[in-house]
Structure formats: structure tokens, C-alpha cells
Amino acid sequence: MSEPTVVRVEGEQPYDVVIGHRLLDRLPALLGGGVRRVLVVHPRALRATGDAVREDLAASGYEAVTAEVPDGEEAKVAQVASFCWQVLGQAGFTRSDAVVGVGGGAVTDLAGFVAATWLRGVKVVHVPTTLLGMVDAAVGGKTGINTTEGKNLVGAFHPPAGVLADLSALETLPQFDLRAGMAEVVKCGFIADPGILSLVEQQPDEAVRWDSPVLAELVERSVSVKAAVVGEDLTETGLREVLNYGHTFGHAIELVERFTWRHGAAVSVGMVYAAELGRLAGHLPEKVVDRHRSILAGLGLPIAYRGDRWSALYDGMRKDKKTRGDLLRFVVLDGSGRPTRLEGPDPALLQAAYVEVSDS
């Protein structure tokens, strides 16, 4: 395997995202000096991985403990965060100690939130084990948990001390989860780097093979897109909103489906919805909308949603974090690599876009 690639995320608290294979020996360097105790947060499905990380840390001289949490979005609730705080308290964690999140986006969101809130903020390093986690959730400093009212409504901005994107972890990732993660990769292509789209179109099979150079390049390009955005706008006061392309409708699907849909699958439909909304609002030519459908469907991702849920979806979108008062805000495109905002669109326009993505 080639040498790892390092993408630097700038800002007030700069950090490195290390991308490559077999990277766990680099974890102590990202934790830095002064750390004595480390909490390894991992999902139930990755118990062996979590134990291996704990053992490696113990062999390096750390007092390492684990907190096993539920799989998927079930981990992102207040009760699980409270459990992690309890572990930290019982183990005597101080402000100079650290949390390591090992798992997919749900775990890194949770671990980051726990680190952000323990003693008003301790160090966190993410070890994402899914493609979604590597290109999106673990990078950028957004942390959060869900409530019954919506996704990520409780959270904090808390940049990690570093991210280890170990591509070897993708070897055992179920194929659909890998493909679902590609939705965030494609998103980066449409908002900032059309070269991503060309790579996926030209080599679709290599794009979803865990050990291919094409996938490695796609991860590097996607992380670079996100790093450039969050380095300028950590707290989403302006530019960072473009990273939410497809997410307003996608998050509404997740809420309506009680988080049983994969995030990437929901965002895939959400991007097609945003493309149709942009077309209907006069921003986007039809050929770019068609390109959305072609690329996403070619990756085996859904591009339509059931046609009898408009009321619930509209209510879900009104609860989105980007909403200001009663003003709904969407990221749409003026063309590939040219995101813009659409504020307060007519509800009839929103419903018309929904009809375009309905499968019935």
C-alpha cells in the first residue's frame, strides 16, 4: 500500500485527516502529549475493533477504557450520552484526557458531543470505520445527538484533534453501506469538485471497491472539499451551508422513516429533490438533474421516495436546522460546482419538486 495522504483542516484549531491503510499506530501522535486516560467509544457491532484499539492504547502507556454503545442512530440519544458521561466520571477523566470515537458517523457524532460537553470540552480523535464517516461525519467538528423531534437538533461545534481514515476498515463494510457513503462523495462533486463526478462515471465499479486507488482518490478529494469549507466557516455562519446539499429533504426522510433509512440513501433522494427544486426555480438545467439521477442510480442508490408522505416530509423540513423562523432555506445549484441558496420558496414549488421524486 502507498504512503498515507494527510489533509490539513485549517481554522482556529487546525488538525490532520490521515487517509491510508493500517493506520492505528498513528493514533498516539494524534492524541498528542499530556493525555493519560482515553475513552474508546464504539458500537456493539465493532466490539472486537474497540477492544483492539483499547489494547493498543494500553500498550502505548494510556489508561484506556471502552464504552460500548448501540449500533447506528440508536446511539445518538441523550440516554447514551449520559452513559458515556457516567463512564468518564467513574474513571476520573480530567480536562487533559481524551475520547476516541471508533465507528460510523453516528458514533463519531456521539463521541464528539460527549467530548465537547465533558468538563466543557476535552480532546477527541475520530477513527471512522465507514465511508460516510471518513468523508463527512468525522471531519468538520459538528457533533450532535437526535431527539424525537429531529436529527442533530442537540449538539456543539467541537473540532477533533485528528482523524484516522483507515481505508482497510472498509473491507468488512457491507456493500450497501459503502454505496450509501458514496452519496456524500457525490455531493462533494456536485457542490465543489466536478472531477469527483467524472471519476465515478468513468469507473463506477472501482469507486465502490474498498482497496482501489479510485476510492482512495475519491476519499481524498471529498475530505479536501470539506476541509476547505470548514476551515473557513466552522460554525456554519455562511459558506458551510453548502455542505448540506440534499440534506434538508434527506433529513426529513430519515425522520419520517424513524431513522431506519441509511443517511446516504436519504441524502441521495434529497439531492435529486434539490436538483428538481433548483430546476423548477430556474437555477439548474434539466441535463444536470438527469446527471444526478444517472450517477446515483448507477451506484445503486435510491433516487425516488414514496408519494404519500408530503405532509410529514414538509413538517420535517420545517424543523431543519437551516430554517430561520418560518423561512425554509435550501442549498441548490446554478450548475455543477456552483451552489447557491434558495430562501423561502413557495410551498407549491416544494410540493412540485416532491412530485418529481415520487415513485407513485
List, for residues 126-137, the tens digit of each pLDDT value.
999 999 999 998
Contact 20, 166 (CB under 8 A): yes
Co-location of 190 and 46 in the same domain: no
Burial track 80-89 (b if 16+ CB lie within 10 A, e otherwise):
bbebbeebbe
Co-location of 196 and 152 in the same domain: no
| Residue written as grid cell 457525490 | 186
**Domain of residue 318, CATH code:** 1.20.1090.10
Domain that holds residue 266: 182-209+212-356
Residues with Cβ within 8 Å of residue 30, at least 6 apart in sequence: 15, 16, 18, 125, 161, 162, 163, 164
Counting residues of the chain whose pLDDT is more than 90, the rounded percentage is 89
Q: How far apart are CA 305 and CA 104, in angstroms?
A: 25
Q: Which of 126, 158, 221, 240 is catalytic?
A: 240
CA proximity to 141, closest of 114, 109, 107: 109
322 catalytic residue (yes or no): no
Q: What is the pLDDT of residue 164?
A: 97
120 catalytic residue (yes or no): yes
Q: Which of 3, 12, 120, 171 is catalytic?
A: 120
Count structural domains, the chain.
2
Helix, strand or coil for residue 95? coil
**Domain of residue 41, CATH code:** 3.40.50.1970
Q: State the average pLDDT over residues 42-58.
A: 96
Q: State the average pLDDT over residues 74-103.
A: 97
Which of 45-54, 325-334, 344-353 is predicted with the least confidence, judged by mean pLDDT?
Answer: 325-334
Co-location of 155 and 218 in the same domain: no
Co-location of 71 and 159 in the same domain: yes
- Type of residue found at 35: V
142 catalytic residue (yes or no): yes
Q: Is 334 among the domain residues?
A: yes
CA proximity to 151, closest of 294, 247, 278: 247
Instruction: Read off the pLDDT of residues 182-241 as tens digits, 9 standing for 90 and up.
Output: 999 999 999 999 999 999 999 999 999 999 999 999 999 999 999 999 988 788 778 889
Residue 321's pLDDT band, with cuts at 50, 70 and 90, is low
Binding residues for NAD(+): 71-76, 105-109, 129-130, 142, 151
CB count, 10 Å around CB of 175?
11
Q: What is the pLDDT of residue 225?
A: 96
259: which DSSP letter?
Answer: T
Q: State the average pLDDT over residues 37-59.
A: 97
DSSP 164-219: EEEGGGGGGS-HHHHHHHHHHHHHHHHHT-HHHHHHHHH-HHHHT-TT-HHHHHHH
Co-location of 103 and 249 in the same domain: no
126 catalytic residue (yes or no): no
Co-location of 160 and 33 in the same domain: yes
Tally of helices (H runs) and strands (E runs) in the chain: 14, 11
Instruction: Read off the pLDDT of residues 127-184 as tens digits, 9 standing for 90 and up.
Output: 999 999 999 988 999 999 999 888 888 999 999 999 999 999 999 999 999 999 999 9
